[in-house]
Amino acid sequence: MIVPLVVEILSGNNTSKVWICPKCKVENIITDTDILENHLQEPYYLGVVPKPPTRKEGLQDRGAYDRKVTAWAWNLIAELEEKSTQFREDYKENKNDFEAWEEEIDGGEE
């Protein structure tokens, strides 16, 4: 958005970034707005493995990091096995439906 001449002279910028409120359709200057970001509380599980642990600098984390990564890797393997088993079971149930449907089509020619 183009700023008034006085603001341009004082700030040295001839434009400013704005956002439009979706509810009231009012233009708001980004620098004057407190932006809140909503994040899921860690650890969060959405059918996937949580973020891997990060290595910190120093001697304190040297042994703990290896244990954390090992636990995270085993959690990853368990989650992958769980989801692949669930996928196979879902596929097997759907496969029976498709086979019954194919038999009806093939059985029509006698």
Among 4, 25, 30, 26, which Cα is nearest to 15's? 4
Residue 28 is predicted with a pLDDT of 86
Is 72 within a domain? yes
Give the dihedral sign, CA 15/21/26/31.
negative
| Lowest-pLDDT range of 5-9, 21-25, 76-80, 104-108 | 104-108
12/8 Cα distance (integer angstroms): 5
The total number of structural domains that make up the chain? 2
What are 36's two structure tokens? 């809140």
Q: Do 52 and 106 lie in a common domain?
A: yes
Reduced to 3 states, what is the DSSP secondary structure of residue 102? helix
- Single pTM value for the model: 0.42
Q: What is the pLDDT of residues 53-79, one digit of tens each?
A: 888 877 777 778 888 999 989 988 888
Any domain includes 40: no
63 is written with which tokens?
Answer: 């042994």
The answer to whether position 38 is within a domain reads no
User: Does 67 map to a domain?
Assistant: yes
- 44-61: average pLDDT: 75
> Does 58 share its domain with 26?
no
Does 27 share its domain with 56?
no
